[in-house]
Structure 1
Amino acid sequence: MIRSISRAQLIVDVVVASVLLLLVIWSATIQSPIAGPVVVLLLCGALAVRRLSPALALIGAWAGALLQIAVLMAVTPADAAVLGVAYASASYGTRTIRLIGLASSITGGAIAAVYLTLSSRDEYINPVGSPTHTVVTLIALGIGMITLFVLSWTLGLLARTVRQSREAKVQAAVAAQRAAYESAIEQERTRIARDMHDVVAHSLAVVIAQADGARYAGATSPEVQSDALGTISATARSALTEVRLLLTQLRREVPDGPQPSLDDLPALIAGMRGAGLRIAETTSGTPVPLLQGTGLAAYRILQEALTNALRHGDPARSVTVELLWEPEALHLRVRNAVVAVAPGTEPADAVRSAGHGLPGMRERAALAGGTLTAGPAADTAGAYEVFAVLPTTVAPREEAAQ
């Protein structure tokens, strides 16, 4: 019977009911010192809990109205609470409460018409005028009161329909965004598979060539056979690790060409500078060789981050690119200033999250065994940061498996 509503909604309902209570409590007390305040409290209480519990609101409204009729109390502004309860029963109640609210609106309207027809200002239960006049008045009031109550209930039902329609649109938008995100990840996996196809093919070609050479030269040159076996071991180990890190399945696609790595970073930065991006680059620590898949992931992450900075960042301020080499991990950080947006427009990070770039970067980092975070910088206002950590060595459990 109790719904979950926000604190602001509850406060508004209580305040409105309290104001109405203060306005009518005095006049109701004058009319009926004992029953008057009770009637007003029941009606205003029903108004206060109409969204919190439409069922309790209906009970309170009926109790107040029946008590008012029983003591022959005149109509007060507190009776307007009945309209709010009828609205809430349709807008916030369950299917049973909605039907009870509709029946209450029709029945209550009829009872109110009879009560108003048979009452006068000075004396109650005293038909005014001729019986014909009384019947006409009763019919007119009945139509008017039932229409008023049912109209309040109908407005509540309409508000409920509009609210459910909006919620359905939001859920559909969330589902569409989730589907687009998953599609972007799947497309990025396809691109990663295409990139790594060249790597795996090269590794297998080296293994085959070295094995053939060792087989032919083994009888006459044992040292050549030993070198070939060492090359085969290193190449196969590296290829196996890259497959485990970066591929779930291989696609038989024609590679586009040689794959970039961190060695190509100077050319990438030079190209971005040529496009108008101001870049401040810093490198610390001792660089160590990376697996080709990890180097490719690092290059692609930096490429996407710099592209996003060029598209969405403030061109008047510099972009910071930091590479921190540690014995077991490479830390990549790209930070750029965000252009201030006008009220009502979407911020740059919202625009980025809707595209395929961030899902692709996260996927590359995860498949390389690392992590990536992207969002507003925690220590600098108005800045956007992409931070990735990529392993520089094979995990111990993978070395053991080999």
Structure 2
Amino acid sequence: MRELTRRQLGVDLGIAVAFALVSLVFARHDGQISLIPLTVAAAAVAFRRLSPGLALGIAWAAALIQMSAGLSPALYDLGVCIVLYASAAYGGEVVRWLGLSSAIGGAIIATIYLQFRFEWFTALLASPGVLVSELRSAVAVGAGILALLVLSWVSGQLARSIRVGRETSRREELARHDADIAEYRVVVEQERNRIARDMHDVVAHSLAVVIAQADGARFAASARPDLAVTALGTISSVARDALGEVRMLLAELRHDEGSTPQPTVVDFDALFEQLRGAGLELRVHESGERRPLGTGHELAAYRIVQEGLTNALRHGAPGAPVDLTLFWADDGLHLELVNDVPEAPDDAPALGRGHGLPGMHERAQLAGGFLAAEPDAEGHFRLRARVPAA
């Protein structure tokens, strides 16, 4: 049996009661005996979704009771059509094919019943011409009954296909959503792993210096106060630099890197020329006076600009200009990057599934700033960020 909610059970029961009441109005001329197949047919309608196989058996039992009592066709016979629809729409594979087989067999049995019960006995006593005419009539009636029953089953099969297609699309959408979340978490975790490695390689040296100077100042404080003051100055300087490194938690950068110093905002012009040489039509609008942001913050600003321009080159509309606005303010650097995006096909992956945007978000947040990147209503991809001064 299928699991149905209370609401679904209530709806099915209500439909069955309504079906029985309407059928009762048209079944009065057959007498009280017609109440038996009518009630059985209504029960089949009530069970059609809860247990399609059981409902199919009950429906054909109602038809057999009707034929055994020699009753005429009635409105409650449509219960077979309703159950055939449900067997195809909600039943398992065996029930579905039993429904189709019973539709074909039922059409043949119903045709024979109608013709023998009401026509053929009279035709056998008449002339051969009348018999041929009745045979043609039987074929037409059988074809009509078969078409009605098979059409009910095919309608259920079509409804099932539509429902399965929608469920498949919904599961695929949920799977894509879960994949996006999982990939984002993996990317962030990779960033944090790089941060841990960089803490060991870069920050550990500064902390070792701080510890050594602190131990020296502690021993020299009573005998050589001047040395203690010098040591404390060294601790202050090194600790400030280390704080900047810790706040950024410098990662193993994803671009070409060697043993050269980390890039800063001074390297913006070289970056712009490099991307223009790669074919990017870059228009830079810069206002304000460039100012130092701090070691880690300048690296964050450089990498955000570099990643944004690289994404524009790789994923932007070919040949379209890219506008980069840099505004230097007292509180840091404000930047905005705008580029056209080509029309993506329906099966294209969503924006932001790569490593670039999560990495830029992580850098901006660790620097104490913010970053927002999304397409706008005009068909542009707009990236806005602020990197504060240290």
The normalised TM-score by structure 1 is 0.59
- Give the AA of the match of 1:391: P
Percent sequence identity is 41
Asked whether 1:128 is paired with 2:132, we answer no
- 1:294 corresponding residue in structure 2: 297
Note the alpha carbon deviations across 1:224-243, whole angstroms, 9 max, x for none. Answer: 64344223124314424542
Aligned counterparts, 1:1-400, within 5 A: 60=18, 63-65=21-23, 67-70=25-28, 87=85, 91=89, 127-130=118-121, 144=146, 149-150=152-153, 152-195=155-198, 197-204=200-207, 206-207=209-210, 225-240=228-243, 242-244=245-247, 246=249, 257=259, 258-339=261-342, 341=343, 346=348, 352-377=351-376, 381-393=378-390
- 1:41 corresponding residue in structure 2: none
- Contact 1:282 1:321 (C-alpha < 8 Å) held by counterparts: yes
- Contact 1:90 1:160 (C-alpha < 8 Å) held by counterparts: no
Deviates more, 1:59-68 or 1:301-310: 59-68
Shift, 1:376, TM fit: 1.9
* In 2, Cα distance between equivalents of 1:57 and 1:367: 61
* In 1, Cα distance between equivalents of 2:188 and 2:122: 80
Q: 1:103 to 1:323 in 2, by over 3 A?
A: same
- Contact 1:338 1:384 (C-alpha < 8 Å) held by counterparts: yes
Note the alpha carbon deviations across 1:133-167, whole angstroms, 9 max, x for none. Answer: 99xx7xx7999476664554455445444443443
For structure 2, list consecutive stretches of 5 or more residues without a partner in the other structure: 31-71, 125-133
Q: 1:366 to 1:70 in 2, by over 3 A?
A: farther
- Give the AA of the match of 1:390: V
* In 2, Cα distance between equivalents of 1:103 and 1:275: 66
Note the alpha carbon deviations across 1:205-260, whole angstroms, 9 max, x for none. Answer: 5535755886898799855643442231243144245425548x99xxxx953322
- Give the AA of the match of 1:387: R
- 2:48 corresponding residue in structure 1: none
- Contact 1:84 1:152 (C-alpha < 8 Å) held by counterparts: no
* In 2, Cα distance between equivalents of 1:216 and 1:302: 48
* In 2, Cα distance between equivalents of 1:164 and 1:105: 24
* In 2, Cα distance between equivalents of 1:55 and 1:102: 26
Q: 1:112 to 1:278 in 2, by over 3 A?
A: closer
- Contact 1:281 1:322 (C-alpha < 8 Å) held by counterparts: yes
* In 2, Cα distance between equivalents of 1:287 and 1:196: 29
Shift, 1:115, TM fit: 8.0
* In 1, Cα distance between equivalents of 2:6 and 2:386: 46
Matched position secondary structure for 1:185: helix
* In 2, Cα distance between equivalents of 1:81 and 1:322: 71
* In 2, Cα distance between equivalents of 1:3 and 1:388: 52
Shift, 1:104, TM fit: 11
* In 2, Cα distance between equivalents of 1:342 and 1:330: 32
Matched position secondary structure for 1:353: coil
* In 2, Cα distance between equivalents of 1:160 and 1:90: 12
- 2:38 corresponding residue in structure 1: none
Shift, 1:105, TM fit: 10
Q: 1:289 to 1:311 in 2, by over 3 A?
A: same
Shift, 1:265, TM fit: 2.0
Matched position secondary structure for 1:354: coil
The normalised TM-score by structure 2 is 0.61
When the two structures are aligned, how many residues end up with a matched partner? 323
Q: 1:277 to 1:260 in 2, by over 3 A?
A: same
* In 2, Cα distance between equivalents of 1:149 and 1:382: 48
Shift, 1:389, TM fit: 1.9
* In 2, Cα distance between equivalents of 1:160 and 1:66: 33
- Give the AA of the match of 2:173: V
- Contact 2:332 2:389 (C-alpha < 8 Å) held by counterparts: yes
